[in-house]
Amino acid sequence: NAGVTQTPKFRVLKTGQSMTLLCAQDMNHEYMYWYRQDPGMGLRLIHYSVGEGTTAKGEVPDGYNVSRLKKQNFLLGLESAAPSQTSVYFCASKRDTITTTNEKLFFGSGTQLSVL
Amino acid sequence: GQNIDQPTEMTATEGAIVQINCTYQTSGFNGLFWYQQHAGEAPTFLSYNVLDGLEEKGRFSSFLSRSKGYSYLLLKELQMKDSASYLCAVSELTGGGNKLTFGTGTQLKVEL
């Protein structure tokens, strides 16, 4: 069981370039999340999805877009990268159902993104 | 909104016991999580508390007092591999469902 898989692991972009981060989970989880982690800031939620075809904004959504066309995949896009988006990005998923609504998160291994 | 406080750094000796505190302020408390994150790796789940009291899981225990807005993670018989960041995360029930907010983490260094 692979769990949550993120690609790529590292990426360097120039300001203004675009890219897409891919997150895939094989646990049939409904909920998926994209976080960024910066020193001294903790994990901050960018966007999330509560099921296939749904997306919603988190705490810091500006400059990012997401799509959840298939239940197992959650894509994070940067249309025009900025140096402020230099960060470590984590994807996560959880099982949550109608009767169990506070399940633990399973995280991917992270993507180190540098924007020059 | 939520305000979560935990110490930035702690140092402890191998074989000892260490307690990492987390205080929070929230209007719709719905549970508290502890995650462990080794350098360069993903966070992994350690414990979950939603009712007052102590939850024990091997060398790790987590305590919650909802009235005080306080939790702690207790690590016993410390090992070098316990050197990691420990993240406190508070779940809050909102109109849109559960909202999870992470603290900035406590970096624990275990020394010989």
- Asked whether residue A97 carries a pLDDT value surpassing 70, the answer given is no
pLDDT at A99 over 70: no
Residue of A6, A99, A107, A111 for testing the chain B interface, max B β-carbons within 10 Å: A107
3-state secondary structure of B62: strand
Question: pLDDT at residue A21 above 70?
Answer: yes
Cβ-based contacts of B35 with chain A (< 8 Å): 105
Average pLDDT, chain A: 93
Closest-CA distance, B97 to chain A, in angstroms, reads: 9
Q: Mean pLDDT throughout B85-105?
A: 89
**pLDDT attached to residue A1:** 63
Q: Per the structure block, which two tokens stand in for B47?
A: 């414990």
Comparing B106 with A96, the larger pLDDT belongs to B106
CA distance B42 to B87: 11
**Which of A50, A90, A96 minimises the CB distance to B42?**
A90
Nearest CA in chain A to B103: A42
Residue-level pLDDT at B109: 98
Å between B33 CA and nearest CA of chain A? 8
For the segment A53-73, the average pLDDT, to the nearest whole number, is 96
pLDDT tens readout for residues B30-82: 999 999 999 999 999 999 999 999 999 999 999 999 999 999 999 999 999 99
Pick from B81, B112, B88: nearest CA to B102: B88
pLDDT value of residue A9: 95
Classify the phi-psi angles of B91: left when phi > 0, otherwise alpha if psi is within -120 to 50, otherwise beta: beta
CA–CA dist B42, B44 (Å, integer): 6
CA-based nearest residue in chain A for residue B86: A42
What percentage of chain A has pLDDT greater than the value 70?
95
Nearest to A42 among B30, B98, B104 (CB): B104
Which of A43, A49, A97 to mutate to test binding with chain B, by most B CBs within 10 Å of its CB?
A43
Mean pLDDT of chain B: 94
Given this model, what pLDDT does residue A41 score?
85
Q: How confident is the model at residue A2 (pLDDT cuts 50, 70, 90)?
A: confident
B1 has a pLDDT exceeding 60: no
Residues of chain B contacting residue A34, judged by C-beta atoms under 8 Å apart? none
Over residues A58-72, the mean pLDDT reads 96
Residue A98 has pLDDT above 90, yes or no: no
What CA–CA distance (Å, rounded) separates A32 from A67?
A: 11
